[in-house]
């Protein structure tokens, strides 16, 4: 919810003063299921065009749709994950329009009676937490794909996607900035991936957003919105909102008014362009599909699905903060992808959670990023990183040596404790050995010793020299204490 302080910083400055941006999103998420919503054809991506097309998908006369129960279960799981109202009775409607990639001449969708009603998503945007309302979630068929760039004179149609199940998840117009909209889609994607109801792969078009944007003077009623269709990356969602809001403000400030229309975002030009004037619901001649009965299920069925839901990101985050003493920020970073959270839990089990989080987030993610690897293919397994963290927590090795050790495990593999043992990497806590090194450094640098008496910040230089002398193995705290005593620094 936007209190005054967060609302202010989100305002966009125009020539006539500040404007508020209002955003609502319709996200299309492809349902994870082996077969399509009303036919048994495969949903596999990247197949030869028109190789996954049943008679139902090609809309041959007389063919009848048969609902795929797995898709229904996936929609219910998603609704539960959005803490939403599950409607035990819903209706499939025909949404009539003509397009070459829609052989039926209508899309089977849900209109008045969707399978899922109101819910919520908690998001964090720019350090502020807020709740975005979900209006509804309904099931519908995807269309096929028109291909225009294969031949100068012809267009082709690939029906592999025709009939694949989509969940359309409609938010309330609760967002007030590009950052909030991006945080919303990111969080929704995370929830879907945890639930395994959609893989969230935006590059493949498995998750795409229609972005509704309007502007108003703070306190005014909602302005006329434009809908930007099919934006397929988080970055483009942010850019599209900013340029569209700017465009609308310009028109209104020039004395014009906004036409409600459907627009396209062109990332190359950084602008949105009119596609068509907005169609109204009555243009589609919605009516209940006579080939399908109302979709009904019992509360027992819903409860059964609920009992098997995985732990979701918000709950996991709260548990990480409580059980491992993590900061809210570190916990959010770790739960953003389930694979990362699972990895962290193995590293942190029975060990120092903060050190574990630090190593996973900074060393491991940093290195994986640099090499373009994902965590499933990490050369350092969670058990190995856990071993390293264990050695650090027990003071067997210093932080500096731990980095060398990480490097060895990354490139050569092996058991961290064995490596430390065999290569003599154990931290030197033996005061005799440390004292020897300290004495040598002091003896070799009489001028610096004099300076240090006047300038205590020189201590760092001495610690560095002793660490070098001992090959990084001396315990830094012990070195520092001994140097202070010998140099007479407080
Ligand atoms: P339709 O069915 O015509 O697309 P809806 O009322 O279902 O219209 O709204 C579609 C989306 O537009 C929703 O995500 C909603 O939050 C958003 N929306 C509605 N009014 C506005 C507005 N004035 N400004 C921005 N977004 C809006
Ligand atoms: Mg709509």
Instruction: For residue range 448-474, list pLDDT tens digits in order.
Output: 888 888 888 889 899 999 888 888 878
Do 400 and 287 have their domain in common? Answer: no
The residue among 422, 456, 479 that closes a domain is 422
Ranked by mean pLDDT, the top range of 3-12, 344-353, 458-467 is: 344-353
Distance 267 CA to ligand 1 centre (A): 23
Number of domains in the chain: 3
Of 20, 23, 26, best ligand 1 pocket probe by most atoms within 8 Å of the beta carbon: 26
Q: Which residues of 235-245 are buried (b: 16+ CB within 10 A; e: fewer)?
A: ebbbbbbbbbb
Do 69 and 107 have their domain in common? Answer: yes
Between residues 388 and 7, which one has the greater pLDDT? 388
What is the tens place of the pLDDT at every residue in 203-220?
Answer: 999 999 999 999 999 999
* Alpha-carbon distance values, 44 to 11, 255, 448 (Å): 44, 51, 70
Do 218 and 301 have their domain in common? Answer: yes
**225 Cβ closer than 6 Å to some ligand 1 atom:** yes
User: CB neighbours of 286 closer than 8 A, spacing ≥ 6?
Assistant: 93, 94, 95, 96, 111, 112
Mean local confidence (pLDDT), 104-112: 97
Amino acid 3: pLDDT: 47
Do 245 and 126 have their domain in common? Answer: yes
The residue among 272, 305, 338 that closes a domain is 305
Do 178 and 133 have their domain in common? Answer: yes
Distance 306 CA to ligand 1 centre (A): 30
Q: Report whether pLDDT(124) > 80.
A: yes
Q: Which domain holds residue 475?
A: 431-487
pTM here is 0.88
Strand partners, 117: none
Do 43 and 188 have their domain in common? Answer: yes
Stated as kind and residue range, the H or E segment containing 440 is helix 431-444
* Alpha-carbon distance values, 39 to 165, 200, 225 (Å): 10, 23, 36
The residue among 393, 422, 451 that closes a domain is 422
Do 376 and 463 have their domain in common? Answer: no
Q: 188: closest CA among 178, 179, 196, 200?
A: 200
Of 19, 22, 95, 170, best ligand 1 pocket probe by most atoms within 8 Å of the beta carbon: 170
* Alpha-carbon distance values, 158 to 46, 92, 164, 274 (Å): 11, 25, 13, 26
Q: Which residues of 438-467 are buried (b: 16+ CB within 10 A; e: fewer)?
A: beebbeebeebbeebeeeeebbeebbebbb
Mean local confidence (pLDDT), 20-36: 98
Do 234 and 323 have their domain in common? Answer: no
Domain harbouring 438, CATH code: 1.10.10.410
**248 Cβ closer than 6 Å to some ligand 1 atom:** no
- Rounded to whole angstroms, the Cα distance separating 378 from 383 reads 12
- Rounded to whole angstroms, the Cα distance separating 449 from 442 reads 7
Do 418 and 435 have their domain in common? Answer: no
Do 72 and 206 have their domain in common? Answer: yes
Q: Which percentage of the chain shows pLDDT scores above 90?
A: 81
Q: 483: closest CA among 437, 447, 450?
A: 437
* Helix ranges restricted to H, 53-97: 69-81
């Amino acid at each position: 919810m936007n209190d005054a302080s967060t609302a202010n910083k989100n305002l966009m400055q125009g020539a006539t003063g500040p404007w508020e941006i209002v955003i609502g999103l319709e996200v299309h998420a492809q349902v994870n299921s082996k077969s399509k919503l009303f036919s048994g054809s495969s949903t596999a991506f990247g197949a030869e065009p028109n190789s996954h097309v049943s008679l139902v998908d090609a809309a041959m006369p007389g063919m009848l749709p048969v609902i795929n129960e797995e898709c229904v279960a996936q929609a219910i799981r998603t609704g539960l994950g959005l803490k939403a109202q599950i409607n035990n009775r819903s209706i499939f409607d025909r949404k009539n329009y003509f397009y070459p990639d829609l052989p039926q001449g209508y899309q089977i969708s849900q209109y008045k009676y969707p399978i899922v009603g109101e819910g919520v998503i908690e998001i964090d945007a720019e350090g502020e937490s807020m709740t975005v309302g979900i209006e509804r979630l309904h099931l519908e068929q995807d269309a096929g794909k028109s291909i225009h760039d294969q031949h100068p004179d012809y267009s082709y149609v690939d029906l592999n996607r025709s009939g694949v199940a989509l969940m359309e998840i409609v938010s309330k117009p609760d967002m007030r900035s590009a950052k909030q909209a991006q945080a919303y889609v990111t969080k929704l994607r995370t929830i879907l991936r945890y639930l395994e109801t959609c893989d969230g792969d935006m590059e493949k078009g498995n998750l795409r957003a229609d972005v509704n944007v309007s502007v108003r003077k703070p306190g005014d009623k909602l302005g006329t919105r434009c809908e930007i269709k099919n934006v397929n990356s988080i970055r483009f969602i942010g850019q599209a909102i900013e340029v569209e809001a700017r465009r609308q403000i310009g028109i209104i400030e020039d004395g014009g008014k906004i036409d409600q229309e459907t627009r396209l975002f062109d990332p190359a030009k950084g602008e949105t362009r009119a596609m068509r004037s907005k169609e109204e619901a009555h243009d589609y001649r919605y009516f209940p599909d006579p080939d399908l009965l109302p979709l009904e299920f019992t509360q027992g069925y819903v409860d059964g699905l609920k009992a098997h839901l995985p732990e979701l990101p918000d709950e996991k985050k709260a548990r990480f903060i409580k059980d491992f003493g993590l900061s809210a920020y570190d916990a959010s970073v770790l739960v953003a992808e389930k694979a990362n959270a699972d990895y962290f839990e193995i590293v942190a089990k029975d060990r120092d959670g903060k050190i574990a989080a630090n190593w996973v987030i900074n060393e491991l993610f940093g290195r994986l990023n640099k090499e373009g690897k994902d965590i499933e293919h990490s050369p350092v397994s969670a058990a190995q990183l856990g071993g390293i963290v264990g050695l650090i927590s027990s003071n067997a090795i210093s932080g500096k040596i731990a980095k060398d050790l990480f490097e060895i495990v990354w490139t050569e593999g092996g058991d961290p404790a064995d490596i430390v043992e065999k290569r003599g990497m154990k931290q030197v806590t033996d005061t005799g050995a440390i004292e020897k090194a300290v004495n040598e450094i002091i003896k070799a640098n009489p001028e610096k010793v004099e300076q240090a008496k006047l300038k205590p910040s020189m201590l760092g230089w001495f610690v560095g020299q002793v660490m070098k002398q001992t090959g990084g193995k001396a315990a830094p705290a012990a070195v520092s204490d001994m140097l202070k005593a010998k140099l007479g620094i407080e």
